[in-house]
Amino acid sequence: MGYTLGTLMTNSLHAVFGAIATVRNEQELHLALKDKISEHFGVQHWGIYLLDDQAATEINIPAIPSVCLEGNPVGRYVVERHAPAHEQLLLSPGDWKHFCSRSDHEHVMTGPIVCDGQLIGTLHLARDRGQPAFDGNDLADLSAVCLHLSAKIATLRAKPTTSPLVSRLTPRELEIAELVAQGLTNAEIGEKLWITQNSVKQALKRMFRKLEVSARAEMVAKLQDVLVS
């Protein structure tokens, strides 16, 4: 059975979602999304711009500067409504040139990245002259991507994964530590993670060495600020 265009587009969108889910910090966002955003949206230029200084100010391709949020109708729409927009949603054909004359920004689309009810960043996409304008399907897909970005950044900022202690442990070891903090036994942890009880025991020995502790309670106390209880 052959794939339809809709199926291929859905698959590429899910690849974007999957890439967002795998990043460990905000600085990895661009690298994780590098080819996937361009492929799915058919854009020549794109970038993520973060408004505060909690992370890197800009995570983007050098060829595309951030769109001034207050200087054009697209930016103002995103700021005021926390919703994505493209230029043809708000302007008559050709009017965008009054705000931007760049041939590599013939068509633009911007979406919000929101955390704790505040606009903390934006995702910008641009197409060259001669490329088709963005449409309603593009807008819906950008909205979905921005939801995933917003949720991921909120998670990263809620849990200080940049902690030196956390960096010593693998993602699997962190899972085990969180289950230990919940009071689960080695057997219960093994059942939950689909690994043997001995694997849990050996993992805990490695974790104790990495964290320089000698007991489960001591490990949990040392990681109390980063574990989900």
Please say which residue of 158, 178, 203 terminates a domain.
Answer: 158
216: domain CATH number?
A: 1.10.10.10
- H-helix or E-strand spanning residue 107: strand 107-115
d(CA 56, CA 50): 7
81 and 51 in one domain? Answer: yes
What is the signed CA dihedral for 85, 35, 144, 166, rounded to 10 degrees? -120
Shared domain check, 169 and 110 = no
Average pLDDT over residues 132-157: 94
* Statement to judge: residues 84 and 116 lie in one domain: yes
Instruction: Please tell me whether residues 168 and 102 are part of one structural domain.
Output: no
Say whether both 171 and 153 belong to one domain.
Answer: no
174: Cβ–Cβ under 8 A, 6 or more apart, which residues? 166
Count of beta carbons in the 10 Å neighbourhood of residue 117: 6
Instruction: Kindly indicate the confidence band of residue 8, based on its pLDDT and cuts at 50, 70 and 90.
Output: low
CA dist 122 and 112 (Å) reads 5
pLDDT tens-digit readout, 53-95: 443 334 443 333 445 566 789 988 998 999 999 999 999 988 9
Percentages (nearest 5) of helix, strand, coil residues in the chain: 55, 15, 35
Distance CA 111, CA 14 (A): 18
Are 176 and 143 in the same domain? no
**Beta bridge partner(s), residue 48:** 59, 123
Residue 227 resides in a domain: no
228, part of any domain: no
Structurally, the chain folds into a number of domains equal to: 2
Which domain CATH number covers 30? Answer: 3.30.450.40
In whole angstroms, give the CA distance from residue 182 to residue 137: 43
In order, the DSSP letters of 59-99 are EE-TTSPPPPSSSSHHHHHHHHHS--EEHHHHS-TTGGGGT
Range of the domain at 195: 164-222
Domain boundary among 103, 135, 158: 158
pLDDT value at 148 more than 50: yes
Query: Do residues 48 and 151 share a domain?
Result: yes
- Asked whether residue 177 is domain-assigned, the answer is yes
Residue 165: the pLDDT is: 72
For residue 209, being part of any structural domain is answered with yes
130-151: average pLDDT: 95
Highest mean predicted confidence (pLDDT) among 47-51, 52-56, 91-95, 136-140 = 136-140
Higher-confidence residue of 121 and 147: namely 147
Q: Are residues 83 and 192 in the same domain?
A: no
Residues 171-214: pLDDT tens digits? 788 889 989 998 999 999 998 888 899 999 999 999 999 999 99
9 and 37 in a single domain? The answer is yes
Q: Is the pLDDT of residue 220 over 60?
A: yes
Quote the pLDDT of residue 55: 38
Cβ pair 35, 15 in contact under 8 A: no
205 located within any domain: yes
Rg (CA), the chain: 22
* Positive or negative: CA dihedral 42, 43, 49, 55: positive
Q: Are residues 121 and 207 in the same domain?
A: no
Mean pLDDT of the chain: 83
Residue 142 lies in a domain: yes
Assess whether pLDDT exceeds 90 at residue 164. no
Q: What percent of the chain has pLDDT over 90?
A: 47
Task: Give a yes or no: residue 229 inside a domain.
Answer: no
Q: Are residues 132 and 183 in the same domain?
A: no
Q: Do 170 and 94 sit in the same domain of this protein?
A: no
Domain end: 129, 158, 187, which one? 158
